[in-house]
Structures are given as C-alpha cells and as structure tokens.
Amino acid sequence: MSHEHVSNTKRIWFVFGLLSVVTTVEVILGILKPASLEFNHFIGLNLLNWIFYILTIFKAYYIVWAFMHMEGEKSSLRWSVVSPVIFLVLYLLFILLTEGHYIYGVFKDSTIKWNF
Amino acid sequence: MEATVTTANNDEKTWGGGDIQPLGASYGKMMMWFFIVSDALTFSGFLAAYGFSRFKFIETWPLADEVFTHFPFMHGVSAPMYYVALMTFILIFSSVTMVLAVDAGHHLKKSKVAVYMFLTIIGGLIFVGSQAWEWKNFIKGEYGAVETAGGSLLQFVDKDGKRVALEEFAVKLPEQREALTRSKEKWFMEDAETQPTYSVAEIQAGFKAHPDLLIRTETLTAAKKKTVLTRAESESRLNTAKYVVEGANLTRNEYGSKLFADFFFFITGFHGFHVFSGVIINIIIFFNVLLGTYEKRRSYEMVEKVGLYWHFVDLVWVFVFTVFYLV
C-alpha cells in the first residue's frame, strides 16, 4: 500500500476547518439570498446557484481526496473511480434536465392540466 | 480446506485477492471503491430525477426556506436552514472522527481507534435522530392548505402576506359525515386518522367570515415569491377546492407540488437508510476493534474500508443539502 505511515492529524483538522467554513458561507448565503446574486444569470443558472454548486464540488473534492484518502492512491485507481462517475453524472444531468425543460414547455403551451 | 485456498503462486493472502494488486489497493478496498461508484450513480440518478421534476414544474416548485423552518425548542420562530446546517456539521464532524480512527489504526493504537469509532457511531445516531425529527415536522405540517379539482394547491395568507393556519379561521359546521370508528363499525373500518380536521365546506365558510384573508397560489413571481391573489380572485379559486391537505404524505402535501414530498421522502429516506446501515457496520467494526481482531491481524484496514463507506454517506449529504435546501 502506498501509505507512508505518518500522522495526518494536522491535515484532517485543517480540512475539517475548511469544510466548516464553506458550509457556514453556504448557509449565510442561503439565508440572506443577496438579490444581486439571485437575479443575475450566467448560462441559464443564477449566480447564487452557481456559487452553491461550485462550493459543493469543492467540499466533495476535499472529502474524497483528504478524508477518503484518494490522494494517497495510485493514479490508476483514482481515474477508474472518478472518471466514470463524472462522465455518467454529466450525461444523466444533461439528458434529464433537458427533457424536464421540454416537458415544462409542453405543459405551458397546452391546455393539459394534469399534475403528476 | 487447504485445497480451496490454493492459488497459482501458493500465496497465503487469497482472502485479500492475492499479491497482484493492479490498482495498488487490496481487493477489499478496491471493491469498496467500486461499490461507492455504483452507489454514487444511484444517488445521482435520484437527484437528477429530482432536477427533472423540478424543471418540469419550475414555476410552481415549493420554496425550501418556507418548508424547513423548524428548530428544536424554538416554537413559532421561523428558522430556515439552521437545523439542516446543524445536521451537516454533525455529519462532517463524525466524518472527522472516522478519519482520525483510520489514522490511529495506521499506528496500531487500539484504544484510540476504539474511542474515535465510538464518537463516529454517536455522531451517526444523532444525525439519524435529527432526520427523524425533520421528517416528523414535515409530515405533521404547520399551516395546512386546500387542493383544487385541477390539482393546484392553495395556501392562506393575511393582508401582509403572512401565512395563516387552517385552525385560525375555519369554522366548525355540524358534522356532515362522521368518521368511522372501530367501536361503531366493523373493526377494519376506521378512518378517523386519515380524515382531515376540517372539511372543504368548513374552510370555505371560514374564509367568507374573515374578509381580510387572501389566497396564495403555487406560482412564483419574478421576485421568486409565491403569487397572492386579490380577494375576488381568492373567493372564486376557493370554490374549486376539493381536498383539505394537512401535512405531507406520498399522495399530497401542503407545501406544493406532490412530487416535492415524494422526492423528499425518497432521497432523504434513502440517505438516512445509508447512515443507519453505516452506523450498524461501524458498531460491528467497533466491537471487532475492542475484541482485538485487528490487533492480532496487525492491520486496521477494515476500519479504513468502513471509513470509506462512512465518508461516502457524508459526501452524498453534501449534495442532498445543496440540492434540497440551498438551490
């Protein structure tokens, strides 16, 4: 195994601090919802949601890399775990969100009123 | 027995997948990673399906900070986000104690591993308990609403746009239909629990008696607030009311789109089930640590493997938190 058996305690507490700060920022933004962020859009998504998603991925990176110790694994394991997830999730999101938007249009432009 | 464990190079580590480690990780750890990959895709499927339904009803979706407003010991105080933020911290902290247990395992410090595992289990139990409390509030509801024949949801507000609960204005009419009870009917014919507190007629009569009440529809305005109708519009909309909705179940909920509650129950329930099973696995490993199983093995890799699962549960929560409560 590729673990050099040194204590990582310092790094663990650093990552914990980082995750806590990011979560606090998210909660503060979620409560305040600054209008300048909420009503300005960038590629179909408002800036506030962009910030939330970027911070989420930032947190996910630190959980996987530091807590799950992905940084200590071989790059072959890293790629075989991370790349299928990223590729398939992007694909899934693209398909489902596009279709959801299409069905929204169908409902809006027709007289169907069936809430399912 | 020996015949079954013989390998080509006659190595003793067959249980661990032999000595050949193409990805530089033991068999168990590698398979835990690939289990996590498949589980991650399952959760992604759920969250993407949530996104699909939300895009479908983008103009009428409930606002999360109006739904999750409870905090323990703070009755009637609207505290959006604080409770889930607390839950998030609890789960992140239990992740930290887990990674500290793994770290102590690398140094073969048995008692330290046991203490950190124990703290992780406690954190997990607090999280599951918090989620149960969140569900209780969600199911019980706060204000109540009515559903129209067309499936839209109508909520009640006063002149300032503040929500008004059904019991604040509904009048008690002489009972139109008595709820079935076991004592009066056959033992299986009981519906007292599923009957809403008020009938549609009682809500309509109460609404007439309070001229300052208005109706709020699900439709979001440009300012991302719910649309409040005028008094005349409100009265005509209320005439189409068909059901009284109190709280939430899988069929209808007082918050808005029916799918909102379905996805809430399904996704947070599935995640809660992961936390619960993680706690059970952690308890098993905790006892193994106490019994000295890994001390004899001179390797705490099992702690590392359940650690991976536990961190994954935390990882999923990070996404559920964003998608359900923030966005």
**pLDDT tens digits for B186-241?**
666 665 556 788 888 888 999 999 988 999 988 888 888 888 888 889 999 999 99
Q: Which domain holds residue B277?
A: 24-141+260-326
| Together in a domain, B134 and B275 | yes
Give the span between the Cα atoms of B142 and B244, in whole angstroms: 13
The ipTM value here is: 0.89
- Cβ contact (<8 Å) for B99 and A67? yes
Residue bearing tokens 């103009």: B59
A104 touches chain B (CB under 8 A): yes
Q: Distance from B316 to chain A by nearest Cα, in Å?
A: 9
Dist. CA A18–CA B81, nearest whole Å: 20
B107 and B194 inside one domain: no
B40 part of contact set with chain A, CB < 8 Å: yes
Residue B154 lies in a domain: yes
Check B23 against A89: CB less than 8 A apart. no
pLDDT by position in tens, chain A (length 116):
444 555 688 889 999 999 999 999 999 998 888 887 778 878 878 888 899 999 999 999 999 998 888 888 889 899 999 999 999 999 999 999 899 888 888 888 877 666 55
What is the per-residue pLDDT across B84-142, written as a single tens digit (0 to 9) for each? 899 999 999 999 999 999 999 999 999 999 999 999 999 999 999 999 999 999 999 88
- The two tokens of residue A17 are 């601090």
Residues B131 and B43 in one domain: yes
In a domain, residue B215? The reply is yes
Domain ranges for chain A, please list them: 1-73, 74-116
Residue B6 lies in a domain: no
Residue B2 covered by a domain: no
**Alpha-helix runs per DSSP H in B180-268:** 200-209, 231-238, 258-263
Asked whether residue B134 falls in the same domain as residue B201, the answer is no
Residue B286 lies in a domain: yes
Of B246, B276, B305, which one is at a domain's C-terminal end? B246
Q: Which of B246, B270, B287 is the endpoint of a domain?
A: B246
Q: Number of structural domains, chain B?
A: 2
Domain match, B191 and B228 both: yes
A111 touches chain B (CB under 8 A): no
**Which long-range contacts link B79-83 to residues 24+ away (Cβ below 8 Å)?**
B80/A30, B80/A31, B81/A27, B81/A30, B81/A31, B81/B325, B82/A27, B83/B130, B83/B134
Domain presence at residue B254: no
Q: What is the CATH number of the domain that holds B89?
A: 1.20.120.80
